[in-house]
Homo-oligomer: A and B are copies of this chain.
Amino acid sequence: MSRKLSKADRQKVLVKRIEENPFLTDRELADIFRVSIQTIRLDRLELNIPEVRKRTKNLAKQAYSKVKSINDSEIIGELIGIELNKSGVSILETNADMGLEKSKIVRGHHIFAQANSLAVAILDTDVALTGVAKTKFKKPVYIGDRLIAEANLHNIKRNRFQVRVKTKVDQKEVFSGRFVVFSRDKLSEGGR
């Protein structure tokens, strides 16, 4: 934003921005509008917009209630949107426990776990298991980065679901994966 907006204009744009992306923090909004965090807080108060934590929680509550294929606690990251057999979004806040000591780079299996559990969560089936995963780790992710994963169902053939997941940090793609997931019926055909 190249110039400061008037308060009324700022509040209009603020509402729009938060609608588009409810996960923007007060700090990020302050940066966008080149005002103090305190100003953003007052804006939200006047506009009756809850803080980011609460906004996320509300979305999460709706999202988790829809999931059938996996227990809530088994989803890695926080699920914040879902449309069964279509798409879903989750957020994973990375921390030091997830990273390599030397390089401070987040380990691949955490990124994989977020994407894989999201790919399973969006499916409209009771039990689902991953068969194949083709994954690309496109950029290093550093401890503290916030991973936003988006899964889309690509196609279904009988009990075979193809799901694509893209994971971003600060709008930049850091990971992509294609997952082939089977629902339980298919698995039991093959024995075991």
Contact = CB atoms under 8 A, between A and B. Distances in A.
Given A102-B127, A103-B127, A134-B134, A192 B74 contact: no
Contacts of A29: none
A135 B137 contact: no
Interface string A52-87: 000000000000000000110010100000000000
A169 to B, nearest CB: 11
Contacts of A184: 103
B70 A100 contact: yes
Nearest to A103: B127
A130 B103 contact: no
Nearest to A99: B74
Contacts of A100: 70-71, 74
Interface string A110-148: 101100110000000001011111111101100000000
9 contacts: A70-B100, A71-B101, A74-B101, A74-B107, A103-B127, A103-B184, A133-B134, A133-B136, A139-B192
